Amino acid sequence: MYTINDIEKITSFKTWDDKKKIDELLRIDAKIYAHQGSDSTKAEIEEGRRNSRKIYRAIKEIDNDLGSSFLELMDK
């Protein structure tokens, strides 16, 4: 099970294809939001957004169009 701390490791895997890397990064992103709730503090929510941005930048390194789309949607 990978976490936000493994982004660089995931992007550098030679045996994984791009789809598998992106799928794993999005799984980590989904887990971030799954653990937030109405009782989450503003700081926790902001930390989740910062971590998502890190993930989307890593995705952009793998697939520029997809990563750019995620980052644009996040900024709206």
pLDDT interval class at 71 (50, 70, 90): very high
Segment 19-51, tens digit of pLDDT: 999 999 999 999 999 999 999 999 999 999 999
pLDDT interval class at 76 (50, 70, 90): confident
For position 45, what pLDDT does the model report?
A: 96
State if pTM tops 0.95. Answer: no
Q: In 3D, which of 62, 66, 48, 73 has the Cα closest to residue 12?
A: 62
For position 42, what pLDDT does the model report?
A: 96
Q: For the chain, what is the total number of helices (H) and then of strands (E)?
A: 4, 0
Query: What one-letter code names the amino acid at 62?
Result: I
